Amino acid sequence: MSAEIRKLAVWVEETHAEMGRPIKPATRKAVAVAVIANPFAGRYAEDLSDLIEIGAELGGLLGARCVAALGIEPGQAQSYGKAAMVGEGGELEHAAAILHPKLGAPLRAAVEKGAALVPSSKKMGGPGQVLDVPLGHKDAAYVRSHFDGIEVRLNDAPRAGEIMVAVAVTDSGRPLPRVGGLTHAEAEGKDGLR
């Protein structure tokens, strides 16, 4: 089963200055969102494999949209994250089915490598509600400068029978990182942690 997409949105933020200090090059974050029909809205389904396949489709689609919106080569992506918000006719487990079993592999293909766990969040919600997508370094989860997040919200989604699925990708860390820890330059990116 493929995703029945009602709407796609791609949001890009660039931070050129903070606290009066210029940031060159600007830090940039992209988040791509798909609003899809929830095939299991309003009923209990034991087998969620349709949503698992939809997750695989959206991981590739939304990851590629982020990379395109940033105008970068896949290998220039530095951090990523994923999240889903399920409309009131569904259940939280629907978000888990989309996000966890199969979304990661095609997302990693879209950003090259991706040794690290893709940080995630999920919730139930309605139109206009905020979904915070966590961000972490894509190859080394301990890179401290890249722990971040990005907020998405659409005033008209998710409706009761819908799910909002978001993938975020950056080409940079926080604007003025200075809390130490492992850096992007130091990361080996072999075990996904350091």
Contact residues for another protein, defined by CB under 8 A: 5-18, 26, 69, 128, 130, 151, 155-156
Q: How far apart are CA 14 and CA 17, in angstroms?
A: 9
Task: For another protein, give the closer residue by CB, 42 or 128.
Answer: 128
CB of 32 to another protein, least distance (A): 10
Rounded to a whole number of angstroms, the minimum distance from the CB of residue 46 to another protein is 28
**Residues facing residue 37 across a β-bridge:** 162
Shortest separation between residue 90's beta carbon and another protein, angstroms: 17
User: Which CB, 116 or 165, lies closer to another protein?
Assistant: 165
Please state the closest distance from residue 54 (CB atom) to another protein, in A. 15
Q: Which is nearer to another protein, 48 or 61 (CB)?
A: 61
Closest to another protein by CB, 33 or 182:
33
